[in-house]
A and B are shown apart, each in its own frame.
Chain A
Amino acid sequence: MARLRAAGRKALIPYITAGDPEPVATVPMMHALVEAGADVIELGVPFSDPMADGPVIQAACERALAHGTALHDVLDMVRRFRERDADTPVVLMGYLNPVEVMGYTTFARTAAAVGVDGVLTVDMPPEEAHELVRALRAHELDPIFLVAPTSDRRRIEAIAAAASGFLYYVSLKGVTGADALDVDAVARKLEEVRAVTDLPVGVGFGISDAARAAAVSVVADAVVVGSALVRRIAEHAQEPAAAREAVGGLLRAMRQAMDAAVHPAETARS
């Protein structure tokens, strides 16, 4: 992320739920995401009770769990992804309980061994995260944390102190896939965040099309897109190739719009 920032390029971070619509689709989809311009992949670990997610990702979790996709399966998908892609960073995003059951140390050791780069547990604020953060850092994994519109300066400082890699700014009060993005409000909050930390800031929740991705990329270091991709995967649940094409199409459109928004002159020349 720091490298991208130095190059003046904004990162595009697609999210998919591992095992959705079935486990064999995930690794090919991850490669398709990279081909379409993903700089980092956020791989969702399915959970039975995804409290912070909207209906689209809830349904993805249910599809993945119907195939029994467990945390160790997700780690195995990363291992297989790494056979062909050693570079693209992979961040696991999920809820705490599967990690608790596996055990922090076993999880961190295995995740590092298969090539995971960062871990975001959405229902674990920094106050509760000391032990997990210690385990992750011991294996050179980045603990990624959320910052929200409701986080005050004191909280942003605590979050930045616990985090490495990047911060994930939740663009709105709501769940994933909500439709209430206010880019000006995001820009104002990111100023607050940047007054506190030098960590790159990714923005997600509610970024559903190229125009919104472009608008957010002007103020953020990275754009996270999840529900919009997962919806396309659901629409093509029976046809994995068509799903990859649909997802890739949206990502490419976002990539193009983001580059045009950030470097209008260069894009016009090219």
Chain B
Amino acid sequence: MQNSNDETLTRMPDAAGHYGPYGGRFVAETLMEPLLELTEAWERFRGDPEFLAELEADLRDYVGRPSPLYHAERWSRELGGAQIFLKREDLNHTGAHKVNNTVGQALLARRMGKRRIIAETGAGQHGVATATVAARMGLECVVYMGAEDIQRQAPNVYRMRLLGAEVVPVTSGSRTLKDALNEAMRDWVTHVDDTFYIIGTVAGPHPYPAMVRDFQAVIGRETREQILQRAGRLPDALVACVGGGSNAMGLFYPFLEDRDVRLIGVEAAGLGLETGKHSAPLCAGKPGVLHGNRTYLMEDGDGQIIETHSISAGLDYPGVGPEHAWLKDIGRAEYVAVTDEEALAGFHRLTRTEGIIPALESSHALAYAEKLAPRMDRDAIVVVNLSGRGDKDLNTVARIDGIAL
């Protein structure tokens, strides 16, 4: 691609939310006006100095930003290749990158005069991050969660309830994240006047993919500044896990125009791409329309959405953000997949070599870094987004190790 095209990379999407053929607004008519209203509000406040100052103060004092960029020296030495730096989103308040976005959207909700917040959640991380900001602002909060996931993620359900949120079990469809999203949309269409829907990832109808990316781009901006300060140059590769893709998009976005920086998104191969039991629409899916946007999907030959599988509930989603779909097609980002087993090995290795227990989602990125780094020179630099901490996954990992907690 020509240099002249580079500047268009960061100017996506177009006014109606398209990234090439992807994105857009595919919702029933009732939601169109609320989406236009939200788009207008977001466009107004994203450039409003007062709003941005408030956001920055919250990210600093409440979330704990900037998050450190940590040189994992021992792990890098063991792998014998590139120097690996970890962007420590796991050290944020609530333990993951999700809160960067919920703080931003909650501030927007308040500016728009909405009193009620709704959200969908899979593993519960976005639900917790939403319930957290709602508690702080005194907003009513309802979180939709698949009945299946409620069983699997009991501690996060209790956390949300402690924070004052109502957690509504969703029993339709596959009773997981995608169904929770459907149900949240149904709530929103019924209560559009007073309700703000905080979507947790860079998917859904415009403006969500762009808005969530903008709120998460603080990850990439900080990383850029930190690595320039430490190494005096940009990294050779960025690696991040991709479910819906918000932590990856937040890390990648400020580097899109730096062609020499490889951008690598890691999807969940589950039991293996060849088994069909995975959550890797970019690696093994096809373009289609779901949840308000056109993107790569896991679907059958009739266009029905199929059930996904991943050891990590946060990656267990049949779609992916439309900007990732576009970056894949134009070749600006690469997308790979690692299995449950590889992710689990990455989880254990980081824990034992660096004393950091990563989330199973982030462990997918770590597992790919273990394949990538040894093939690179020792002075090469790889940044891995450590998007969340692993405390929430202790039950899952213990169960696999045959230990009852």
CB of A101 within 8 A of CB of B302, answer: yes
Give the contacting residue for B32; candidates A49, A50, A102, A148; CB below 8 A. A148
**How many B residues face the partner with a CB closer than 8 A?**
40
Bound CA–CA A187/B173 (angstroms): 36
State the Cβ distance, A153 to closest chain B Cβ, in Å.
Answer: 11
Q: Do A128 and B26 touch (CB < 8 A)?
A: yes
* B290 contacts chain A at the CB level, 8 A cutoff: yes
Q: Which residues of B contact A96 (CB under 8 A)?
A: 26, 289
Are the C-beta atoms of B172 and A65 separated by less than 8 Å? no
Task: Quote the shortest CB–CB distance from A42 to chain B (angstroms).
Answer: 15
* Contact partners of A174 in chain B: CB under 8 A: 30, 186, 189-190
Contacts of A156-199 to chain B: CB distance below 8 A: 159, 170, 173-175, 178
- Residues from chain B with a CB closer than 8 A to the CB of A70 are 302, 304
Contact (A123, B288) CB under 8 Å given A49-B178, A52-B189, A98-B302: no
Return the CB mask of A94-105 against B: 1 if under 8 Å, else 0: 011111111000
| Contact of A125 with B32 at beta-carbon distance under 8 Å, contacts A71-B303, A97-B299, A101-B299 already known | yes
Q: Which residues of the partner chain B approach A217 to less than 8 Å between Cβ atoms? A: none
Which chain B residues lie closer than 8 Å to A48 at the CB level?
A: 173, 304-306
A155 at the interface (CB under 8 A from B): yes
A151 CB-CB contact with B under 8 Å = yes
Residues of B within 8 A of A147 (CB): 29
**Does A122 interact with chain B (Cβ within 8 Å)?**
yes
Complex interface: chain B residues within 8 A of A128 (CB): 24-26
> How far in angstroms is the closest Cβ of chain A from B304?
4
A140 within 8 A of B: no
| Residues of the A chain whose Cβ atoms lie less than 8 Å from the Cβ of B27 | 51, 123, 125
Residues of chain A lying within 8 A (CB to CB) of residue B292: 123
Q: Give the residue name and chain of the B residue nearest to A69 (CB).
A: B302
Q: Does B185 contact A (CB under 8 A)?
A: yes
Classify the secondary structure of B's interface with A: mixed
A-contact bits for B274-309, CB 8 A (1 contact / 0 none) = 000000000000111111101001010111111000
Note all chain B residues with C-beta closer than 8 A to A100: 287-289, 294, 303
Interface flags for B197-232 (1: CB within 8 Å of A; 0: not) read: 000000000000000000000000000000000000
A127 at the interface (CB under 8 A from B): yes
A contacts with B, residue count (CB < 8 A): 45
B394 in the interface, Cβ–Cβ < 8 Å? no
Q: Is the CB of B25 within 8 A of A125?
A: yes
Whether the pair A150, B30 counts as a contact (CB closer than 8 A) is: yes
Among residues 156 to 203 in chain B, which have CB atoms less than 8 Å away from a CB atom of chain A? 172-173, 178-179, 182, 185-186, 189-193
Which residues of the other chain, A, contact B299 by a CB distance below 8 angstroms? 97, 101
The answer to whether residues A49 and B29 also contact, given A128-B24, A173-B192 and a CB cut-off of 8 A, is no
Q: Does B405 contact A (CB under 8 A)?
A: no
Q: How far is the CA of A116 from the CA of B137 in the complex (A)?
A: 52
- Bound state CA distance, A159 and B289, in angstroms? 21
Please indicate the chain B residues that have their CB under 8 angstroms from the CB of A97 in the complex: 288-290, 297, 299, 303-305
How far is B27's CA from A54's CA once the two chains are assembled, in angstroms?
15
Mask for A123-144, Cβ within 8 A of B = 1, else 0? 1110110000000000000000
Residues of A within 8 A of B288 (CB): 97, 100-101
Q: Which residue of A lies closest to B16 (CB)?
A: A127
Query: B residues within 8 A CB of A36?
Result: none
Interfacial residues of chain B within 29-47, with CB under 8 A of chain A in the complex: 29-34
B400 proximal to A (CB < 8 A): no
B301: which A residues are within 8 A, CB to CB?
A: 101
* Set A49, A150, A155: member contacting B182, Cβ < 8 A: A49
Residues of chain A whose beta carbon lies under 8 Å from any beta carbon of chain B: 47-52, 54-55, 58-59, 62, 65, 68, 70-72, 95-102, 122-125, 127-128, 145-152, 155, 159, 170, 173-175, 178
- 29 A-B pairs within 8 Å (CB atoms) are namely A49-B173, A49-B179, A49-B182, A49-B290, A51-B182, A51-B291, A58-B173, A62-B173, A96-B289, A97-B289, A98-B302, A100-B288, A123-B28, A123-B292, A125-B27, A125-B29, A127-B16, A127-B24, A147-B29, A148-B29, A150-B29, A150-B33, A151-B32, A155-B32, A159-B29, A173-B191, A174-B30, A174-B189, A175-B189
| 7 smallest beta-carbon distances between A and B, as pairs | A101-B303, A98-B303, A70-B302, A148-B30, A146-B29, A150-B33, A52-B28
Known: A51-B185, A100-B289. 16 other contacts (CB 8 A): A48-B173, A62-B172, A65-B304, A71-B303, A98-B304, A100-B287, A100-B294, A123-B289, A125-B25, A125-B29, A146-B29, A146-B30, A151-B32, A155-B32, A173-B189, A173-B193
